[in-house]
Structure 1
Amino acid sequence: SKKADWDLGMSLDAVSLASHVDTVVLCTGDGDFARLCSHLRHEGVRVEAMGFGNSAADELIEAADEFVDLAEDEETFLL
């Protein structure tokens, strides 16, 4: 059995890149990233999150500067 758990890797990459970028875009609805959003915003980085609004965590939506609901543009994001 294998588990794909990229939360830590994504977070480390985002924190490492924070001083080199203006914006970080997270493609997730996982509320575990809310603290990362808060940290990045504190560092002066704009944070945008993209996910499916019906399953995205409220904490993430509130922590990001902008949240894009992928379900609102079905022709672009859904097959």
Structure 2
Amino acid sequence: MLTMSNQTKAKHFMEIFINQTVAILIDGNNIERSIHSVTNNQNTMVNFDTLIPKLLDNRGLNRLIYFREGKNISSKLTERLHNHYYGSVIPCHKSADIPLTIKATQLASKVDTIIILSGDSDYIELVRHLRSEGVRVEIASIPETTSGLLVEEADYYHEIDESDWFELPGQSRPNRNNKRKHKK
């Protein structure tokens, strides 16, 4: 029979650590537009160096994919995501909705959690589907531009705020108090 101190020791050593694997799928256009609308500044960008570790919260990153409409995708962004997170950037013909949805369904059997960076209500059905497949779904977005129903459908919501973005160097934010005065 174990003594009380031995029971405590055994309990301590029997702690269960759950290791989750996470895929982060980013609707780049949605997140960028959301940040720009909140900051009123086209030169404000997501700071992945602060945001990704916060989203992962000591969980293992399986995939990071940044979906971006258009052909002019920053090579610096592509290089940075690859070098720091083994991430990739996928250019989309139009919206990221369909390619992101396809990739999420492909990854559903390979990861425990999918984090979608977007507040777009177009992802509601995807969230419902992934959850029905047993995948934990988290949404990360700017609250002011996020669908309330999307947040309700997700298992968890991460609020992206000003601590998660930065202004490009050499670019100044327009001063709202010093508007140009027009001569009459």
For normalisation by structure 1, the TM-score amounts to 0.87
Q: Specify every segment of 5 or more residues in structure 2 that has no aligned partner in the other structure, as ranges.
A: 1-69, 71-92, 167-184
**Does the residue aligned with 2:145 lie in a helix, a strand or coil?**
coil
Identity %: 35
1:78 equivalent to 2:78? Answer no
Tell me by how many angstroms 1:31 deviates: 0.6
Question: Which sections of structure 1, spanning at least 5 residues, go unmatched?
Answer: none
Q: Give 2:119's aligned residue.
A: 29
Give 1:53's aligned residue: 143
The one-letter code sitting in structure 1 at the alignment partner of 2:132 is H
Q: Structure 1 or 2: larger helix share? A: 1
- Cα distance in 1 between the residues matched to 2:135 and 2:106: 12
Aligned length: 75
* 1:20 counterpart SS class: coil
4+ runs of 1 displaced by more than 6 Å? none
Q: Normalised by the size of structure 2, how large is the TM-score?
A: 0.39
CA distance in 1, matches of 2:105, 2:111: 10
Tell me how far 1:78 sits from its aligned partner: 2.2
Amino acid at match of 1:47: V
Q: Please identify which structure carries the higher strand content.
A: 2
The RMSD of aligned alpha carbons is 1.3
